[in-house]
A = this chain, B = another copy of it.
Amino acid sequence: MNEEDFTKKLAGMFQQGPDVLVGPGDDCAVLDTGADRLLLAAADQLISSVHYLEGCPPAYAARKLLRRNISDIAAMGGTPTHALVTLALNPVDEIWLTDFHASLAETAAAYGVSVIGGDIARLFTKGEVCSLTILGSVEREKLCLRSGAKTGDLLYATGVFGNSFHSGHHLEFRPRLEEARFLAGHFTHAMMDVSDGLLKDAARVADASGCALVLDPLRIPLRRGATVDGALGDGEDYELIFAIPPPLSEELEAAWPFPETPLSCIGRFTDGTPGAVSGLEHLKQNKLKTGFDHFHEETV
């Protein structure tokens, strides 16, 4: 069974209460606690020798861990609010921990996030496993889901793609929080952050929305040093992809208030097999990476 199907099978084992509007399978879970805004929650981890090189400064690891979780909140149209962090590490080095926490505190303060709890424990072997749960909130009318795209909608993307690891982007990126807040509600209700590779993640939006997708690979903006194949499959871009109804396209491009963030139309949702992606026939499909595989990823 592939990772996608197996993960769905595992998630399907859990019973969800009536307050769970969205359970596992989107960028965040969505809860209705009875407050004005919906509650968002997601968890992600960063593992030494897998998500960053051994010897990576703890300040970079902490910043990346929080920012990638904030990117998940952004993709729902929301605002991050709180985080909880668990660390399993060996050695339990006070300097490493102090640097990690100082960077986490600085990043959290920059995004208005309160780090409210966590746990530190010794790992049985040298290395680190860092896990972060992010909480956030979103106005009911701004909530964006992967499943919100409709046949005929255009697929837009922020930023540029590919070559994230070698360029250092995977440690330096800024989650597209302001862009997402601008988009959510009026322009789109279908958004996702690209972390596992543009092709894989775009297909997920299409699949969740019951649409097929035609990508225009020549319109995918490339990061310096990236190939089209890399843009489609490298992952760790932390950019937003989102569905725009064609009547809003012109308004969006005219109103886009982020001159430093590229905005590109890279495809269109169509009728067809849910999740099927076409438009890539001219690329050497057999060499195309289909995105990040969490279960079998190579040690970096």
Tell me whether B24 and A116 are in contact (CB under 8 A): yes
State the A residues within 8 Å of B (CB).
1, 6-7, 10, 13-17, 19-20, 23-24, 28-29, 31, 33-37, 39, 41-45, 47-51, 81-82, 84-86, 88, 92, 94, 97-98, 101-102, 104-105, 108-109, 112, 114-125, 127, 129, 131, 133, 135, 137, 294-297, 299
CA distance A119 to B129 in the complex (A): 12
Distance (whole angstroms) from the CB of A93 to the closest CB of chain B: 10
Tell me whether B105 and A50 are in contact (CB under 8 A): no
Q: How many copies does the complex hold?
A: 2
Instruction: Decide: A43 near B121, CB < 8 A? Known: A15-B109, A94-B6, A108-B14.
Output: no
Distance (whole angstroms) from the CB of A89 to the closest CB of chain B: 9
Tell me whether B43 and A84 are in contact (CB under 8 A): yes
Tell me whether B116 and A295 are in contact (CB under 8 A): no
Distance (whole angstroms) from the CB of A227 to the closest CB of chain B: 26
User: Known contacts A14-B114, A125-B127; can you find 19 more A-B pairs with CB under 8 A?
Assistant: A10-B98, A10-B120, A15-B109, A20-B82, A24-B117, A24-B118, A28-B117, A33-B35, A34-B36, A35-B35, A39-B39, A41-B84, A43-B85, A43-B131, A43-B133, A47-B88, A47-B124, A84-B133, A92-B295
